[in-house]
Amino acid sequence: MIDPDWTGTAITAARPQAVAALLRYFRSLDLAEDAFQDAALRALKTWPVKGPPRDPTAWLIMVGRNAALDYVRRHSKQTELPPEETLSDLDDAEADLVERLDTGDYRDDVLRLLFVCSHPDLPPVHQVTLALRIVCGLSVPQIARAFFTGEKAMEQRITRAKARIAQSDVPYGVPSPAERADRVYAVATMIYLVFNEGYTGNAKETEARAPLCDEAIRLARLLMRLFPAEPEIMGLTALLLLQNSRAAARFDGNGEAVLLDQQDRSLWDQRAIAEGIALIDKAIRHRQPGAFQVQAAIAAIHARAATPDDTDWAQIERLYRTLEQMQPSPVVTLNRAVALAKIDGSQAALDLIAPLAEALDGYYYYHGAVGMFSRQMGDVGAAREAFIRAIACSKTLSEAAHIRRQLDQLAAEFPADRNFSRDV
């Protein structure tokens, strides 16, 4: 008797490879997905009774392929099935597949599936939802809950994404080396978007979206297996592990956000930190720097610090300077300003971000940073104005509540201006 948990885990682990192979056979996301679901249902009925197959992935591919062929036969008289004895002889077919699963064909299958989900014709949010549905196998209700939207709306979003893929005539041939080099970063970015969807939000939202972080890490590990010598993929995986290691400390018992310097570091996941640090150290040894590696290196410095005072802010500032050169962005400069304030003071940070006022005018974190730096400089009026603007730009109750606490603390520090926060 097989443990039901083992069966579910085996099916989940096999999904990317099986769906990818079925997609190559039938050139249809819908048919590949339906075929895999049929095979999974049969596995749930068969494996507990007859025992596990020698290779679950090969078994699911073959059974799914037969189910899809049967569907095609029912809906198209012009399609001829193989002889019945071929369809029934699953052991022999499975043995053949087992021999081929470790070859480049199936490696390319999974990569092709990731390429399809991160197709440039799709908006980023559609890339994320399609990957969660097709690659990860999350149900439409699960995805809808994570995005706080209705199931019907999410179903329509996924359907539109599939339709756009079909209309764009995506090639299903083996990806060329040039395609892999061009598109692998797009796949990595799509995975990072999945993670961000799970990591951002207030305490209640983050709890509901936590499975997205887990799925993103699983996808990053999958991509790392496909590209075991690619340092940027190591950097991506390290970054996700290090960021997610702080999940338990990010909110207090009331659901309020806790800043990094104030988090209870005993709650950080040390196993994830150790794995993340080992990965980024390995990636750096390749001497092929990339944006994900730089971000992971920054996260590793925070993770290595036993206390906030132990943080090597000078190194963090240098890494953000490097990231600015790789990916120039006002947000990267804003993050560098936070590190710069720790080294050279708040005025230096304010001078650095002053040119960003227009570009980041609607950005909550920009106004929060201006308020924090102005408060440290004793400029009560500028701090108050920036905090009020930050509240106006906040997207969650948690963000707004955090800034209101800053205003209350400002009033306590400067009692002559105590009434200034009453009208906010």
Domain edge (last residue) among 47, 77, 102: 102
Which tokens sit at 294? Answer: 């730089």
Let me know whether 115 and 73 are in one domain: no
Which tokens sit at 72? Answer: 């095609």
* Residue of 67, 57, 65, 68 lying closest to 16 (CA atoms): 57
Let me know whether 44 and 79 are in one domain: yes
Query: From first to last of its 424 residues, what are the pLDDT tens digits of the chain?
Result: 556 677 888 888 888 888 888 888 888 888 898 999 999 999 999 898 888 888 888 899 999 999 888 888 877 654 454 454 444 444 444 445 444 444 445 566 777 788 888 877 888 888 888 888 888 888 888 888 777 688 999 999 999 988 888 887 666 555 666 666 667 887 888 888 888 878 876 666 667 677 888 888 988 998 898 889 999 999 999 999 999 999 999 988 887 888 899 999 999 999 999 999 999 999 999 999 999 999 999 999 999 999 999 999 999 999 999 999 999 999 999 999 999 999 999 999 999 999 999 999 999 999 999 999 999 999 999 999 999 999 999 887 778 888 998 898 888 887 765 554 444 4
The boundaries of the domain holding residue 156 are 106-223
In a domain, 306, yes or no: no
* Spatial separation of the C-alpha atoms in residues 175 and 104, rounded to whole Å: 11
Please tell me the total number of residues recorded for the chain in this structure: 424
* Spatial separation of the C-alpha atoms in residues 390 and 396, rounded to whole Å: 11
* Spatial separation of the C-alpha atoms in residues 294 and 289, rounded to whole Å: 7
Let me know whether 135 and 210 are in one domain: yes
Domain edge (last residue) among 80, 102, 124: 102
* Residue of 239, 155, 228 lying closest to 199 (CA atoms): 239
Which tokens sit at 39? Answer: 């095979």
Let me know whether 118 and 79 are in one domain: no
In a domain, 330, yes or no: no
Q: Using N-to-C axis directions, what is the helix angle for 346-353 and 364-376, rounded to 10°?
A: 150
Let me know whether 282 and 179 are in one domain: no
* Residue of 156, 146, 256 lying closest to 193 (CA atoms): 146
* Spatial separation of the C-alpha atoms in residues 370 and 366, rounded to whole Å: 6
Let me know whether 154 and 215 are in one domain: yes
Residue 148, pLDDT score:
67
Residue 102, pLDDT score:
43
Residue 83, pLDDT score:
52
In a domain, 348, yes or no: no
Q: What is the pTM of this model?
A: 0.76
Give Cβ neighbours of residue 150 (< 8 Å, ≥ 6 apart). Answer: 144
* Spatial separation of the C-alpha atoms in residues 358 and 349, rounded to whole Å: 17
Let me know whether 215 and 138 are in one domain: yes
* Spatial separation of the C-alpha atoms in residues 22 and 38, rounded to whole Å: 12
* Spatial separation of the C-alpha atoms in residues 316 and 188, rounded to whole Å: 23
Domain edge (last residue) among 171, 205, 223: 223
Question: Which residue in the block uniquely carries the two structure tokens 């190194």?
Answer: 315
* Spatial separation of the C-alpha atoms in residues 82 and 219, rounded to whole Å: 35
How many structural domains are present in the chain? 4
In a domain, 310, yes or no: no
Q: What number of CA atoms fall less than 13 Å from residue 224's CA on the CB side? A: 20
Let me know whether 130 and 181 are in one domain: yes
Burial 350-377 (b: 16+ CB within 10 A, else e): bebbeebeeebeebbbbbbbbbbbbbee
Let me know whether 206 and 239 are in one domain: no
Which tokens sit at 144? Answer: 């809808």
49-53-58-62 Cα dihedral, nearest 10 degrees = -40
The answer to whether 96 touches 53, Cβ cutoff 8 Å, is no
Let me know whether 214 and 133 are in one domain: yes
In a domain, 396, yes or no: yes
Let me know whether 48 and 8 are in one domain: yes
* Spatial separation of the C-alpha atoms in residues 19 and 359, rounded to whole Å: 43
Q: Using N-to-C axis directions, what is the helix angle for 231-244 and 177-199, rounded to 10°?
A: 10
| Dihedrals phi, psi of 251, to nearest 5 degrees | -135, 145
* Spatial separation of the C-alpha atoms in residues 213 and 192, rounded to whole Å: 9
Let me know whether 422 and 370 are in one domain: yes
